Structure 1
Amino acid sequence: MGSYSDNTPAIHDLAQKMISNSMIDTSLYSKYNVKRGLRDLDGKGVLTGLTDISTIIQNKEVDGKLVPCDGELYYRGYNVNDIVGGILEDDRFGFEEVVYLLLFGEMPNVAQLKDFKELLVKYRTLPQNFVRDVILKAPSEDMMNSIARSVLTLFCYDDNPNDTSVDNVLRQCIQLISVFPMLSVYGYHAYNHYLRDKSLYIHRAEPTMSTAEVILSLLRPDRKYTPLEAKVLDMALILHMEHGGGNNSTFTTHVVTSSGTDTYSAIAAALASLKGPKHGGANVKVFYMFEDIKKHIKDWKDDEEIEDYLEKILEKQTFDRMGLIYGMGHAVYTISDPRQIILKGAVQKLAKAEGYDEDFELYERVERLAPQVIGKKRKIYKGVASNVDFYSGLLYSMLDIPCELYTPMFATARIAGWSAHRLEEIVNGGKIIRPAYMSISTTKNYTPLDKR
């Protein structure tokens, strides 16, 4: 019996036919002023909606003109730098507090935060036998697909899955936020055991743990972690939680929600978007790119040798031959990504504690040299700086989080933002989102089958 994924020569021939009949003359996009990717040539996004959940600042007005500035990110009006700074000053975990902020639009007081954490713990459980019947029975080498399948299957365990009232959707969202760490880590353990023939262990989440602590304790065989490891992971989750309504996966959430579909379908669609290497999968690409750099560069402190290799990456001569230096540049930010600046400081601290100083220094050198190399080789419309994905792969590797879970870590954080945007779309009851596509096909006369 053949594999489900068997390709036959006929498929190749049909694919070539499809390609030849599907190509669109690229000059037509300019002729009809099509905003490919819903963006202008200068990278500015086409305005398609309004949101009160987060604010991204990349320009400031000077003498009546917009000029690039250091990036700023606000959650519900609060500067992320201030949020993280306050959490660090108190030496506590903050993910759950920021989830509350994104969902409800205000900072919780002590009593509200306590009640909300208890609600998250209450929902931090999967249906009976779900791990055995759903996660373990169909292991996948791709954790994002595993999570999406689990999310869609949870629909079947919900007594009221199609109710899109605010009360019900809020309940569903909080439940999903609570179980995402389990869906991610258990999915990895299933893959590690059944597809890689490693030992299988399924730990239970302790009710006193923060989300970051749950992830590390579920992942590691001995369940042990240091306070620094958990706090740095907590910070990374906060920085990945939300980034405006226009990023691909959040916009997907708005689009799918606008059709009136259920929460599980909307979140599964967002997961499908985040999986892509141009979006959430970028942190995996950064990690593998640096593994490739380490193999081919003899002296990690030689700027000239690093520059030469980066040029080869851009010229599609090495690594994945896509011509991209992953982790550099952002669709929105020009001068700097505020999330990257915060995360870099935390990664440096962890690198020193864990003995990864040389790795961190290599990352710093590439971060400094890459914009120069890109500027020489490419025509760019705005500045190029490292983004939040640049250091996140190094962070996860230092935490012994396997690369299969890098993008799921992003999803475990971003589910909070997706939930807030889904609720915002429902509350404001907008029209179904349906942008226009211009047809360029020509009219043809029908020919009967026997005369073709």
Structure 2
Amino acid sequence: MATSILRTSRTKPVWSSLARARFSSTAPKNTTLKERLAELIPLELENVKRVRAEHGKKAFGPVIVDQLYGGMRGLPALIWDGSVLDADEGIRFRGKTIPECQELLPRAPGGAEPLPEGLFWLLLTGEIPTQEQVTELSKDWAARSAIPEFVEEILDRCPPTLHPMSQFSLAVTALNHNSAFAKAYQDGVSKKEYWGPTFEDSMDLIAKLPNIAGRIYRNVFGQGKLPAIDPGKDYSHNLSTLLGFGDNAAFVELMRLYITIHSDHEGGNVSAHTGKLVGSALSDPFLAFAASLNGLAGPLHGLANQEVLLWLSKMQAKIGENASDEAVKEYVWATLKGGQVVPGYGHAVLRKTDPRYIAQREFALKHLPDDPMFKLVGQIYNIVPDILLEAGKAKNPWPNVDAHSGVLLTHYGLTQMQFYTVLFGVSRAFGVAAQLIWDRALGAPLERPKSYSTAAIEAMFKNK
């Protein structure tokens, strides 16, 4: 079973010649991210115009009634440029797999994991930035990182019993007070220039999230005064420091990997789609991303890693450490027979092991191979898929990203599970912000799909 989990597909996603030329290249030297975007936007506008001229009137996938009742599952209805999810290969960021991103994106000095700054550059441009460009992006975000005093006061006045995600959403919404896009729109900016202030808001948003997350963490869990952002450190290092883990080099490396692999997962998931939808009303990036966070906070989305860790903890308490395979199998079967699911296994799209799970597993094998909880995760990895197939409980019995992330965070002492979704939210800002910038650059319209009542569907088929 363990070997079959690593199967890969022979089918590769199809890319246009323009996309291949862009997505396989490295960023030109001596250019900033905003300057490079300004060069790419006219090219992409022409590309979109060409695609619509050639294919705009063609059908793109069937729509069946079950999809309408099934949460639009699998319904092709969005354009999302940053990433595409392949059922066999998993996520590709601008055409690049997670292993390719780990190999090609710049790293911190002495580090082995990709810097999220480079991933954001890739999401926006399709290009691999230079080390110097990533360093400058780190400095830019550090310079933008301060949050307004009134936002600090909002967070400080929140009771510690208010869920960290609620506090996170409150703070991000309040950042709208200084939105460059909202001001530019009020001043009558041309539609062709919408992307500029959207870019500035998105850069400010990403830059300020570590200070917001750090303040929430220390207020809720009593970690003392918040340290200052270090302009000489990268984004993940500063976030780790604000959480109280900056002195642990392995935790900093974990944050670099964590943010990178959680940054984007195409546009149909709740947090990504919500950000795009709210942004289509020309709500600024702060309002759009706050809405994303409210979706991410749901138990069926961002809280899944917390549920996995709770299930693992209950199992370990029941059967003990270093339990036999038979004891693990019995516990899994008891979970299923009790009408519950095995959390962290199965995925709406993926039909193989989630590459994000594999990346975290490889990190654990390198940094914490003897951790008892990781050993249990590895044991489950070899046992659960066969059980789920035998029980007929899942089309995809393989583990997803949530099956592993909580164990890594717990190992390094970040044991407060209520906070895990905040880290997910910090990461997801990268993908949502990148798409919001491109939506405004390409003139994406207000989203307004057509809805039908059950009675209307019945009447439609009675008349045929």
TM class, shorter-length: 0.7 to 0.9
5+ residue gaps, structure 2: 1-62, 186-193, 457-464
Q: Alpha-carbon deviation of 1:158? A: 3.9
Which amino acid in structure 1 is aligned with residue 155 of structure 2? I
1:211 alignment partner in structure 2: 235
Q: C-alpha distance in 1, partners of 2:251/2:407? A: 13
Counting helix residues as a fraction of each chain, which structure ranks higher? 2
Q: C-alpha distance in 2, partners of 1:404/1:75? A: 28
Asked whether 1:337 is paired with 2:357, we answer no
Q: 1:188 aligns with which of 198, 206, 217?
A: 217
Query: Within 5 Å, which residues of 2 pair with 1:11-410?
Result: 34-39=68-73, 45-58=74-87, 69=88, 71-86=89-104, 87=106, 91-92=110-111, 94-128=115-149, 130-131=151-152, 133-140=153-160, 141-158=162-179, 161=182, 163=184, 165-192=194-221, 198=222, 200-220=224-244, 224-298=246-320, 300-316=322-338, 323-352=340-369, 356=371, 358-380=372-394, 382-401=395-414, 402-410=416-424
Bigger Cα displacement from structure 2, 256-265 vs 329-338: 256-265
1:14 alignment partner in structure 2: none
Q: C-alpha distance in 1, partners of 2:321/2:376? A: 10
Q: Alpha-carbon deviation of 1:396? A: 0.8
Contact kept? 1:299, 1:305, Cα under 8 Å? no
Q: Alpha-carbon deviation of 1:429? A: 2.2
5+ residue gaps, structure 1: 1-28, 40-44, 59-68, 193-197, 318-322, 443-452
Q: Alpha-carbon deviation of 1:395? A: 0.8
Residues 325 and 116 of structure 1, relative CA distance in 2, 3 Å threshold: same
Q: Alpha-carbon deviation of 1:274? A: 0.9
Q: Alpha-carbon deviation of 1:406? A: 0.8
Q: C-alpha distance in 2, partners of 1:366/1:270? A: 32
Which amino acid in structure 2 is aligned with residue 83 of structure 1? C
Deviations 1:151-209 (A, max 9, x none): 111112446535462111111111111111221121122222xxxxx463222121112
Q: C-alpha distance in 1, partners of 2:72/2:181? A: 36
Deviations 1:49-103 (A, max 9, x none): 2232112222xxxxxxxxxx4x243212223211212456974351111112212
- For the residue of structure 1 that corresponds to 2:84, the secondary structure is strand
Q: Alpha-carbon deviation of 1:33? A: 6.3
Aligned residues: 381
Q: C-alpha distance in 2, partners of 1:315/1:100? A: 47
Q: C-alpha distance in 2, partners of 1:399/1:49? A: 38
Contact kept? 2:180, 2:201, Cα under 8 Å? no
Deviations 1:375-419 (A, max 9, x none): 233354x33210111110011111222212211111111100010
Q: Alpha-carbon deviation of 1:304? A: 1.6
Q: C-alpha distance in 1, partners of 2:228/2:84? A: 37
Greater Rg by CA: 1
Q: C-alpha distance in 2, partners of 1:79/1:437? A: 36
Bigger Cα displacement from structure 2, 71-80 vs 406-415: 71-80
Q: 2:438 aligns with which of 409, 416, 424?
A: 424
Q: Alpha-carbon deviation of 1:430? A: 2.9
**Aligned residues: percent identity?**
22
Contact kept? 1:393, 1:406, Cα under 8 Å? yes
Residues 96 and 232 of structure 1, relative CA distance in 2, 3 Å threshold: same
Residues 169 and 229 of structure 1, relative CA distance in 2, 3 Å threshold: same
Q: C-alpha distance in 2, partners of 1:89/1:259? A: 38
Q: Alpha-carbon deviation of 1:239? A: 0.7
Contact kept? 1:282, 1:327, Cα under 8 Å? yes
Q: Alpha-carbon deviation of 1:116? A: 2.0
Deviations 1:349-383 (A, max 9, x none): 2213xx51x22111111122222222233354x33
The CA RMSD over aligned residues, in Å, is 2.4
Contact kept? 1:239, 1:339, Cα under 8 Å? yes
Contact kept? 2:165, 2:293, Cα under 8 Å? yes
Q: C-alpha distance in 2, partners of 1:31/1:120? A: 46
Contact kept? 1:300, 1:306, Cα under 8 Å? no
Which amino acid in structure 1 is aligned with residue 360 of structure 2? L
Which amino acid in structure 2 is aligned with residue 419 of structure 1? A
- For the residue of structure 2 that corresponds to 1:34, the secondary structure is helix
Q: C-alpha distance in 1, partners of 2:235/2:96? A: 22
Which amino acid in structure 1 is aligned with residue 292 of structure 2? A
- For the residue of structure 1 that corresponds to 2:149, the secondary structure is coil
- For the residue of structure 1 that corresponds to 2:157, the secondary structure is coil
Q: C-alpha distance in 2, partners of 1:370/1:90? A: 39
1:440 alignment partner in structure 2: 454
Q: Alpha-carbon deviation of 1:31? A: 6.7
- For the residue of structure 2 that corresponds to 1:207, the secondary structure is coil
